[in-house]
Amino acid sequence: MESVNYDRFSGSDTENLHHNPRLVPLKGRQNRMAYILYGLLLLLLLILLMITGIKFSQLSQGIEDIKIYLTTAKSSPLHSPFSQSPQQEHTGEEDFIPHFFEEEQGDCHSGWLSFKDHCYYLSTQKTNWHSAEQRCIEQSGLLFVPNTSEEMEYITEVANEAAMYWFGLVEYGQEGNWTLVDGTDFETVPKFWDNNQPDDWHVRLNGEDCAQLHPHIKRGLRRWNDADCTLDYLYICEAKLKG
């Protein structure tokens, strides 16, 4: 019987498996590559979700503007595109430019309207709520705060009936904690919420924590609505009369 030559499996061969890089298993390297690829895929998915959210926000605003425009065209012939003179030029923003009635400005700055002891500015450019607040502050004012029914009636009269405006009401902290930017206790002022508002529409990615005025066609004074603060609307500033 032939003897088995065990010398071929000497300890030196076993050591070579440990010291020769070409013989090291690739499993560890493959796992690291898999983790890196997995991380990259998660990052890509996050970017796609962010882009989708932004596009959805823009689409939602566009749909809301279209709904308001169609409601306006149906309710008021004066705002219907089919009632315009063929020679009239359209800028794409004219339906949202506020009326400036020819009335005495009192001691208000040029372009501002005077009512009792306050001045009011109705913007012709859209922006988000926080930017609107800053623009009013830069003009030594605040976003409009409707402290009385009489004041709300005045703004309803002079503002564009088809437009939406930011005003000085915002929700801070917990849900339902509405705050007026001039420091007035919210519980002491009359409320003019539109039907079923505020609803904090949960479809909005950013919630609905800022107040806007709905168009007042068929709404009267009940125009308040909670909206996504990042959307762009016209706005109304308010300031004390120059003394």
Give CA–CA dist 200/197, Å, rounded: 8
pTM: 0.58
Among candidates 165, 162, 192, which has minimal Cα distance to 178? 192
Domains of the chain (ranges; CATH) run: 94-240 (3.10.100.10)
Pull the structure tokens for residue 35. 């983790």
Instruction: Give residue 232's Cα distance to chain centre.
Output: 6
Query: Per-residue confidence of the chain (243 residues) as pLDDT tens digits?
Result: 555 554 554 555 555 545 555 545 556 677 888 888 888 888 888 898 888 777 666 666 656 655 554 544 444 433 333 333 333 333 333 333 333 334 445 688 889 999 999 999 999 999 999 999 999 999 999 999 999 999 999 999 999 988 999 999 999 877 778 999 999 999 999 999 988 888 766 555 567 899 999 887 666 788 899 999 999 999 999 999 866
Q: How many angstroms separate the Cα of 109 from the Cα of each of 100, 122, 128, 144?
A: 14, 13, 24, 16
Name the token pair of 44.
Answer: 């890509």
- Close Cβ partners of 107 (under 8 Å, ≥ 6 residues apart): 114, 119, 241, 242, 243
